[in-house]
Amino acid sequence: MNLLHQNLFVKIFLSVIALFITLHAVIWIFYTSEVFDRNDEMYVGDLGRVSYQLDSLHPRKLEYTLEKRHLHKENWNFEQVDILTVGDSFSNADTGGLNPYYQDFLATFYDKKVLNLQRFSEELNSMELLIALYNSGWLERYKPKYIILEAVERFALNAHAKEIDWDKTLEEKDDSIIANLKIKDSHIPSLTFINTANYKFIRYALQYKFSKNGYKRIPRLRLSHPFFSPKKYTNYLLVTQEDIKNKSAEDELRVTSLNENLNKLADMLSKLDIKLFYMPAVDKYDLYYDFIIENPYQKNYFFDLLRNEEKNYYFIDTKAILLKALNNGEQDIFYADDTHWSYRASELIVKSSIFRNTIK
């Protein structure tokens, strides 16, 4: 290769490198840094982060304004509590923003001590944790008056309709049970300006522009009413494919199994004069289903089936409660960019008649 060709090769190589860096810098500065490099302490939702639909973002600052706060393992002094809550991300404030814990609304509105067991592992789900606490004598020791078992709709059957080990126990016999509960880490990764997110942004932007429902993993559906506040996303719904493919929720036998397990747990807890509430957190897709225009996906029948079951526990019908608010034109019951509901939903649910008439 002569000197002329070498110089040409070097120029081409340097030009490609410069173009590569420039492309990443432009996409990062103007787009993807809105999700992965925020310096304003504002939280953005899981759907916005995964889909890169920046117009859907509803940035919100973590803020607590209610008069009373709930207890968790770091600030609980082993005193008796009125209400014990166990659940998944809906119970553990993954949504961020204003007053993200529904437990704080319970503590404030009913003037109760509320302890949230924030825990998850593959070995022990929330129902099994309650069984283990019962069999280990922990519940008898602290005797909360009420237990709220929460589960997001799309995972409820897999978690609680299965065969349950009713003899489940824990080795610890003292308060180390709570100290050893592990909190799932859900932090947003920190990225440099050259990263794969920039490629994904381009790819997904093209899919949402030229495909009817956009990126397959996070479909975008059009709504008949403006249910969200981000200006360019008031009439759009972002949901997960898991919501849409939740065919198991149509299985009446599995819902019956779920109900039988809940009845057995309620009967067990009643021996300690503990009332059980079961609160399935309605999926975003299921809640907004009636307002979707030209919906190519199926209906979810989980709540319809569970309503018809005979229950020994208190059923918190989050879909019915929140659907009433939607029919009244309420905005931001869920965040546009998130699979989780907002503080508006928490307040509506906690103030619902089933809580008002039961919690004394």
> DSSP per residue over 99-164, as a string?
S--HHHHHHHHHT--EEEE----SS--HHHHHHHHHHTTHHHHH--SEEEEEEEHHHHHHHHSS--
pLDDT at residue 311 in the model: 98
Q: Is residue 226 part of a domain?
A: no
Closest by CA to 173, choosing from 143, 137, 227, is 137
pLDDT at residue 191 in the model: 67
Q: Is residue 125 part of a domain?
A: yes
Are residues 293 and 182 part of one domain?
yes
Distance CA 290, CA 305 (A): 17
Are residues 179 and 115 part of one domain?
yes
Are residues 28 and 175 part of one domain?
no
Q: Are 234 and 226 in contact, with CB atoms under 8 Å apart?
A: yes
C-alpha 208: how far from chain center: 24
Are residues 304 and 181 part of one domain?
yes
pLDDT at residue 185 in the model: 47
pTM for the whole thing?
Answer: 0.88
CATH number of the domain bearing residue 266: 3.40.50.1110
Distance CA 276, CA 59 (A): 35
* Residue 312 host element (H or E): none
Q: Is residue 192 part of a domain?
A: no
Distance CA 212, CA 206 (A): 11
Q: Please give the chain's pLDDT, 360 residues, in tens.
A: 566 666 777 677 777 787 878 777 777 777 777 777 776 678 889 999 889 898 999 999 999 999 999 998 888 888 899 999 999 999 999 899 999 999 999 999 999 999 998 765 556 789 999 998 999 899 999 889 999 999 999 999 989 999 999 998 876 554 555 555 554 444 555 667 677 777 777 788 788 887 777 778 899 999 999 999 998 899 999 999 888 876 655 588 899 999 999 999 999 999 999 999 999 999 999 999 999 999 989 898 999 999 999 999 999 999 999 999 999 999 999 999 999 999 999 999 999 999 999 998
Q: Is residue 49 part of a domain?
A: no
pLDDT at residue 321 in the model: 98
**3-state secondary structure at position 314:** strand
Distance CA 147, CA 344 (A): 22
- Identify the domain containing residue 120 by its residue range: 60-186+243-356
pLDDT at residue 121 in the model: 57
* Alpha-helical segments (H) within the chain: 3-27, 33-36, 46-51, 102-110, 126-135, 138-142, 153-160, 176-179, 196-210, 241-244, 252-270, 284-288, 302-307, 318-327, 343-350, 353-356
Distance CA 322, CA 333 (A): 7
Q: Are 166 and 132 in contact, with CB atoms under 8 Å apart?
A: no
3-class SS shares of the chain: helix, strand, coil, % to 5: 45, 10, 45
* Residue 232 host element (H or E): none
Are residues 131 and 78 part of one domain?
yes
Q: Are 54 and 31 in contact, with CB atoms under 8 Å apart?
A: yes
Closest by CA to 283, choosing from 313, 243, 327, is 243
Q: How many domains does the chain have?
A: 2
Are residues 71 and 14 part of one domain?
no
Are residues 64 and 33 part of one domain?
no
Checking DSSP bridges between strand 236-238 and strand 314-315, what pairing results, if any? unpaired
Q: Is residue 196 part of a domain?
A: no
Q: Is residue 219 part of a domain?
A: no
Are residues 289 and 173 part of one domain?
yes
Residue keyed to tokens 């506040």: 229
Q: Is residue 51 part of a domain?
A: no
Distance CA 278, CA 319 (A): 13
Distance CA 287, CA 320 (A): 9
Reading the block at residue 213, the tokens are 């429902």
Q: Are 319 and 304 in contact, with CB atoms under 8 Å apart?
A: no
Are residues 165 and 26 part of one domain?
no
Are residues 249 and 317 part of one domain?
yes
Are residues 80 and 138 part of one domain?
yes
What angle in degrees, to the nearest 10, is found between the helix axes of 318-327 and 343-350? Answer: 110
Q: Is residue 212 part of a domain?
A: no
Checking DSSP bridges between strand 236-238 and strand 220-222, what pairing results, if any? antiparallel
What separation in angstroms does the CA of 38 have from each of 29, 60, 318, 338? 11, 11, 33, 17
Distance CA 178, CA 75 (A): 11
Are residues 107 and 8 part of one domain?
no
